[in-house]
Amino acid sequence: EEAGHRPNDVSYNCLLNASVSSGSGNFHQAWETIAMMEKAGVAVDHYTISIMMKALKKVRNQKDVNQALQLLDRAGLDVFADEILLNTVLETCTRHRETRRLESILATFMKSGLRPSLHTYGSLIKASAALKNLDQCWALWREMEDRRAMVPNDIVL
């Protein structure tokens, strides 16, 4: 800013990624970056949310998990609009046992008619397994193999 250039979403997301990628992840700095971003009127986007969801892989602090999920809600993003975002949200919710959110995402997906990638099928099946919904696991598996003729790989297995 001192040079007369205003940071944009790419600038903020780069700073955010650097914050959470350093060592064990600096969430305090990440939240400060998001606060600056929002104060500057730069919208939180699917990259911002994906960065935060991926960073939660290393986190055990439920406060950071809740704060990141609140950020997702506040941003009002459609998690189905971007498969990377969908996968990172599913994986985060599965890892941190956010069962209500998983149930909601999976219910919406099952009605959506979306044609996910192999990786996304893996995330959907793992989320269904976390909810102990074996019927849904098998329905997704059959859809992937039989109707979509996809061959499961290490990610799905």
DSSP characters over 45-109: -HHHHHHHHHHGGG---HHHHHHHHHHHHHHT--GGG-HHHHHHHHHHHHHTT-HHHHHHHHHHH
- 128 pLDDT above the threshold of 60: yes
Ranking 18-22, 24-28, 44-48, 76-80 by mean pLDDT, the lowest is: 24-28
Instruction: Indicate whether 1 pLDDT > 70.
Output: no
pLDDT at 2: 62
Identify whether the C-beta of residue 144 lies closer than 8 Å to the C-beta of residue 109: no
pLDDT at site 21: 87
pLDDT score, position 124: 96
Closest CA to 16 of 1, 4, 3, 31: 31
Cβ contact 128:140 at 8 Å: yes
Q: What is the rounded distance in angstroms from the CA atom of residue 52 to the CA atom of residue 2?
A: 27
**Quick one: tokens of 143?**
């859809």
> Lowest-confidence range among 42-51, 57-66, 88-97?
57-66
pLDDT tens, position by position, 132-156: 999 999 999 999 999 899 988 877 7
Inter-CA distances, 145 with 14, 45, 84, 96, 109, Å: 38, 33, 21, 28, 18
Quick: pLDDT tens for 83-111: 999 999 999 999 999 999 999 999 999 88
Q: What is the mean pLDDT of residues 9-31?
A: 87
